[in-house]
Amino acid sequence: MDSIEKKRENCAGGVKIQRRCLICNKKVGLVGGFECKCGGLFCSLHRSENMHDCSFNFAEAGMDSLSSRLVVVGGKKI
């Protein structure tokens, strides 16, 4: 969440936080924003990892999760 750009404005009711896309700086609403595993917040156009040059390694994360779940099955050799 540190990399998400947050603009704080003083208003009569308190502090207003605006959520914006990191690529196009478009405002995203409460439901419209997509948080990526790389830590960024993106609009619907830039949510794909190919569109925003994602730094998260999905292949390595998949291999790590598989290696933790797989169990070596072996029988006794005669």
DSSP string, 26-50: -B--TTT-EE-TTS-EE-SSS-STT
Give residue-wise pLDDT tens across range 1-43: 444 444 444 445 567 778 899 889 889 888 878 889 888 899 9
Q: Which residues contact 42 (CB under 8 A, 6 or more apart)?
A: 21, 22, 23, 28, 33, 34, 35, 36, 51, 52
Which CATH number is correct for 6-68, 2.40.128.110, 3.40.50.920, 2.30.42.10, 4.10.1110.10?
Answer: 4.10.1110.10
Q: What is the pLDDT of residue 53?
A: 84
Q: Domain coordinates of the chain in residue numbers?
A: 6-68
The helix/strand/coil state of 63 is: helix
